[in-house]
A and B are shown apart, each in its own frame.
Chain A
Amino acid sequence: MANFAKISETNEVLNVVHVDDKDTTNGKGVEEEAVGQQFLEKSLNWPAHLWIKTSLNTRAGAHRQGGTPLRGNYAGIGFTWDSVNEIFIAPKPYPSWVLNTTDARWHSPIGDAPKDLTAEEIADGTIYNWNEDAGTWDKTT
């Protein structure tokens, strides 16, 4: 099963569809993105170049099962296709966050939340939340 993101001409992800392997393989039995794109153009009535293959197992620039990541992230509705860096980007969570194209993730200006929660705090449900006004990671329960 292959997955393809349907994108607009302004690179917004409109939908993600699953395509049977037989519809993405060429006459020699080799999987080809262009074959899937042509199939989708014909069957779902949207131009071939606006279907981009995406991988269910790719998150934050890594493959969950140790394979080769594909295009940064598994695409979702509302994501943006960055055709220069060839990655799918999630919506920006806060105005101050900046994109790292290497791991295809948004990062706070001071980095990720500290990993210093005690076992007791974790059991209590304490988590770090980003405080955009203060530019800090705040503990909340």
Chain B
Amino acid sequence: MQKKVLTEQALYHGDVSMPKDWEIDEIDLAHHILHSTFKDTAVLPSRTLDKLNVYIKDFINLKYDIRLIEQKLWGNIYKPQQKSNPLLHVDPVDLKNGPDFILLYGVQVEDCNVRIHYDDNRRKGRSWDMPLTNNKFIMFPSTNMYYITNDQKDSLNFIQSITYEYV
């Protein structure tokens, strides 16, 4: 008897363990997110964002043999008790041009949770909750809808998002 896995829905998550003294500068990332939000423009390229992006691509390739190419990079700011809209980064009628993965990185976050919806064959509408903390990333298929809940009391949550396709 044998088994063949045809597809999988995997969550990749963990800390971004940069070399000592080369840690991700969360102030710089938050500054860029704030700037892009007020100006309503894309997050500008920066050495800090590049560090994060390259770290993810290098380690996902090393550990899971998945070569990622970034598509879009943006940041979001969430107010206390704010729940995001349902988020989905693929257009169901244009899957060809959509990304394969969405990555969320906790820049400056408190009491933040990501609820990822998925189907387990006929068991539809399941969800998985995962807390998002500072310097932690969560990456999952972009075909999964998700929500971000922010239960912090008196601060703003800054989250960096990156979509990837794999080759």
Q: Which residues does chain A contribute within 8 Å of B125, judged by CB atoms?
A: none
| Contact of A12 with B by CB under 8 A | yes
| Contact of B28 with A by CB under 8 A | no
B50-67 interface (Cβ within 8 A of A): 50-51, 54, 58-59, 61-62
B interface footprint on A33-66 (CB within 8 Å = 1, 0 otherwise): 0000000000011110010000000000000000
Query: Given A9-B19, A9-B20, A47-B22, A14 and B59 touching (CB < 8 A)?
Result: yes
Assess whether A45 is in contact with B47, with CB atoms less than 8 Å apart.
yes
Residue from the list B17, B22, B59, B61 in contact with A46, Cβ < 8 A = B22
Q: Which residues does chain A contribute within 8 Å of B54, judged by CB atoms?
A: 44-46
State the interface size on chain A (CB cutoff 8 A): 13
Q: Which residues does chain A contribute within 8 Å of B20, judged by CB atoms?
A: 9
Contact residues on B (Cβ < 8 Å of other chain), bracket: 10 to 19
Residue from the list A9, A12, A14, A45 in contact with B50, Cβ < 8 A = A45
Pair count A-B, CB < 8 A:
28
| Contact of A105 with B by CB under 8 A | no
Q: Which residues does chain B contribute within 8 Å of A8, judged by CB atoms?
A: 19, 59
Assess whether B62 is in contact with A14, with CB atoms less than 8 Å apart.
yes
Assess whether B58 is in contact with A15, with CB atoms less than 8 Å apart.
yes
| Contact of A78 with B by CB under 8 A | yes
Q: A91–B58 Cα gap in the complex (Å)? A: 17
Q: A47–B21 Cα gap in the complex (Å)? A: 9
Assess whether A77 is in contact with B61, with CB atoms less than 8 Å apart.
yes
| Contact of A6 with B by CB under 8 A | yes
Q: A121–B22 Cα gap in the complex (Å)? A: 55
Quote the shortest CB–CB distance from A83 to chain B (angstroms): 15
Q: Which residues does chain A contribute within 8 Å of B58, judged by CB atoms?
A: 6, 14-15
B35-76 interface (Cβ within 8 A of A): 47, 50-51, 54, 58-59, 61-62
Quote the shortest CB–CB distance from A17 to chain B (angstroms): 11
16 A-B interface contacts by CB (under 8 A): A8-B19, A8-B59, A9-B19, A9-B20, A12-B62, A14-B58, A14-B59, A14-B61, A44-B54, A45-B47, A45-B54, A47-B19, A47-B22, A77-B61, A77-B62, A78-B62
